[in-house]
């Protein structure tokens, strides 16, 4: 097993959700959506961000993240045409000032982890309610790798090859990130 590309993820999601109610399907299928660059300017202004990783910038504008979730993690809801969902999720977070001080933003919600992006480096982390910010779990070097891993995890669950996914992530991730990936697909070797 290898990490799927975004095009492969889109194709698999479309195939696996064919025939589902359009409303349900809309929250699963990743679509290309060209958001205007002005949305990034608005995001940076609202969240008072100086630097924003170029990989994240590219992919946050290119797809409908405000409508998509993978397994138990939701990137947004009901907003495929702007980044308002991302702004609101961060501004409404009880400890947003600490995120801001550390150069982090929330990019997805799930159970039990919240997914964070380091705005400058682009690294993606997981944090649960019991952890301090210093204990956050490194998941991926950038948003694209993270999304590819999440889409691959979704595929693995649908195809019943969760153990293969964990083996893949053992080879490409940090040992500390394995707890997140195991939790995501429900396999604890």
Upstream peptide bond of 112 is cis (omega within 30 degrees of 0):
yes
Angle at 22 between CA 16 and CA 25, to 5 degrees: 40
The pTM of the full predicted model, rounded to 2 decimals, is: 0.91
- The pLDDT value recorded for residue 105 is 96
Residuewise pLDDT in 10s, the chain (189 residues): 899 999 999 898 888 878 877 766 666 667 788 888 898 999 999 999 988 999 999 998 888 787 778 888 988 776 667 788 899 999 999 999 999 999 999 999 998 999 999 999 999 999 998 999 999 999 999 999 999 999 999 999 999 999 999 999 998 877 889 999 999 998 876
Q: Across 12-72, where does the E strand assignment appear?
A: 69-70
Rounded to whole angstroms, the Cα distance separating 131 from 127 reads: 6
Token digits of residue 75: 């990137």
For residues 87 and 43, the answer to whether their CB atoms sit within 8 Å is: yes
């Amino acid at each position: 097993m290898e990490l799927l590309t975004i095009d492969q993820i889109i194709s698999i999601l479309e195939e696996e959700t064919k025939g589902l109610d359009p409303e349900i399907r809309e929250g699963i299928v990743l679509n290309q959506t060209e958001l205007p660059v002005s949305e990034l300017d608005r995001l940076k202004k609202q969240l008072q961000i100086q630097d924003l990783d170029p990989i994240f910038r590219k992919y946050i504008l290119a797809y409908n993240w405000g409508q998509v979730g993978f397994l138990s993690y939701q990137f947004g809801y009901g907003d495929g045409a702007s980044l308002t969902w991302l702004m609101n999720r961060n501004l409404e977070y009880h400890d947003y000032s600490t995120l801001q001080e550390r150069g982090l933003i929330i990019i997805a919600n799930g159970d039990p982890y919240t997914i964070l992006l380091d705005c400058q480096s682009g690294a993606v982390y997981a944090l649960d309610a019991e952890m301090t910010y210093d204990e956050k779990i490194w998941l991926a070097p950038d948003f694209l790798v993270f999304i590819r891993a999440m889409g691959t995890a979704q595929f693995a669950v649908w195809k019943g090859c969760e153990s293969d996914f964990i083996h893949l992530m053992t080879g490409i991730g940090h040992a500390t990130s394995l707890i997140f990936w195991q939790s995501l697909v429900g396999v604890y070797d």
